[in-house]
């Protein structure tokens, strides 16, 4: 890996991630809703990957560069399109409404949104995408770990896409209003989309992991998985669902919280139900 070229790449991709999130901030301020930052999330990863593809020309293996860029682009555009479609005409996301309520209304709240929502997400996009950027600069063709990562990415994308589709069809039926989605993938894990997201980013890490250099960026998928399972993903969503949805406690008791596991319908006579991850 050419260290000088890669250092320049890191600086440019940081600027690209920042530019996408600042554009989303401008839209959020104008519309008075900041839920659009979720749409910008996937777009920012895509922009970073495309920038890395251009900058790594002549430095990385063409096949590995194209593979890494393609996987991120497919994932990022699908996610952004799904979130844009879901958010059309919807009010502010309750997560951001609660988060921003900590600051007084007016310019202070706008500055708070810039720091806590947009600048933080720009930094996360850049950090989480480091294995992809590294993979684009590796000079040798993809090896066994890279292809295993592609397979894991495929599993993750299917969990996300199928889970999102199942949930959308469930919500589209008026008979399900106020009910808990506990069918399909949602009967095996309470968060198939978050589990799928984790698989996607561990898969992308493996594209760089067949080189010792790639292991320097293992904290990127670790951080993403932590945020999904223990940070701003699963815990925050479950607190809201637990307060709003009747039957949530029963659903949570029988359904794995993250890793897909067979649903547990009844307690074991030998003792209490096993813990769900």
Residue 96: predicted pLDDT: 81
Of the candidates 163, 211, 154, the residue with the CA atom closest to the CA atom of residue 189: 163
Of the candidates 38, 33, 34, the residue with the CA atom closest to the CA atom of residue 233: 38
Q: What is the pLDDT of residues 202-225, one digit of tens each?
A: 999 999 998 999 999 999 999 999
> What DSSP string describes 152-186?
HHHHHHHHHHHHHHHHHHHHHSGGGTT----SGGG
Environment class of 2 (CB within 10 Å of its CB; exposed 0-12, middle 13-18, buried 19+)? middle
Residue extents of the structural domains in the chain:
1-139, 142-263
Tell which phi-psi region holds residue 89, choosing left (phi > 0), alpha (psi between -120 and 50) or beta. left
Residue 71: predicted pLDDT: 98
Q: What is the DSSP letter of 274?
A: P
- What tokens does 136 get? 């684009």
Please give the Cα distance from 76 to 59 (Å, whole number).
24
Residue 269: predicted pLDDT: 39
97 to 31, 92, 260: CA distances (angstroms): 14, 6, 31
Q: How many CB atoms are closer than 10 A to CB 251?
A: 19
- What tokens does 177 get? 């209003």
pTM of the model: 0.89
**Within 13 Å, how many C-alpha atoms sit on residue 145's CB side?**
14
Residue 267: predicted pLDDT: 45
Residue 244: predicted pLDDT: 79
Largest CA distance in the chain: 63
Q: What is the DSSP letter of 217?
A: G
Residue 268: predicted pLDDT: 42
Q: Are 63 and 141 in contact (CB under 8 A)?
A: yes
Residue 107: predicted pLDDT: 87
Burial 88-108 (b: 16+ CB within 10 A, else e): eeeebbebbeebbeebeeeee
Q: What is the pLDDT of residues 92-124, one digit of tens each?
A: 777 787 888 888 888 888 898 899 889 999 999
Please give the Cα distance from 93 to 155 (Å, whole number).
28
* pLDDT by position in tens, the chain (length 277): 788 999 999 999 999 999 999 999 999 888 888 888 999 999 999 999 999 999 999 999 999 999 999 999 999 999 999 999 888 877 877 778 788 888 888 888 889 889 988 999 999 999 999 999 999 999 999 999 999 999 999 999 999 999 999 999 998 899 888 888 889 999 999 999 999 999 999 999 999 998 999 999 999 999 999 999 988 778 888 888 888 778 888 999 999 989 999 988 754 433 344 444 4
Residue 273: predicted pLDDT: 44
């Amino acid at each position: 890996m050419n260290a000088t070229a890669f250092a320049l790449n890191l600086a440019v991709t940081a600027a690209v991630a920042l530019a996408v999130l600042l554009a989303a901030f401008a839209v959020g301020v104008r519309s008075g809703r900041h839920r659009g930052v979720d749409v910008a999330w996937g777009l920012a990863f895509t922009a970073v990957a495309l920038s890395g593809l251009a900058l790594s020309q002549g430095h990385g293996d063409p096949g590995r560069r194209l593979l890494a860029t393609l996987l991120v682009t497919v994932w990022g555009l699908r996610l952004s399109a799904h979130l844009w479609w879901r958010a059309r005409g919807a009010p502010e996301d309750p997560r951001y409404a609660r988060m921003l309520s900590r600051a007084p209304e007016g310019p202070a709240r706008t500055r708070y949104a810039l720091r806590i929502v947009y600048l933080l997400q720009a930094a996360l996009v850049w950090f989480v995408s480091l294995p992809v950027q590294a993979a684009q600069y590796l000079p040798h063709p993809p090896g066994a770990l890279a292809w295993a990562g592609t397979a894991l990415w495929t599993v993750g994308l299917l969990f996300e896409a199928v889970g999102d589709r199942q949930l959308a069809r469930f919500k589209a039926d008026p008979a399900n209003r106020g009910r808990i989605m506990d069918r399909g993938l949602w009967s095996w894990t309470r968060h198939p989309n978050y589990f799928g997201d984790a698989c996607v980013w561990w898969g992308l890490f493996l594209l760089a992991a067949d080189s010792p250099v790639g292991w320097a960026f293992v904290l990127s998928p670790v951080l993403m998985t932590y945020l999904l399972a223990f940070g701003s993903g699963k815990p925050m969503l479950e607190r809201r669902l637990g307060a709003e949805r009747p039957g949530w406690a029963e659903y949570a008791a029988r359904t794995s919280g993250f890793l897909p596991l067979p649903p547990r319908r009844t307690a074991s006579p030998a003792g209490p139900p096993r813990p769900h991850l």
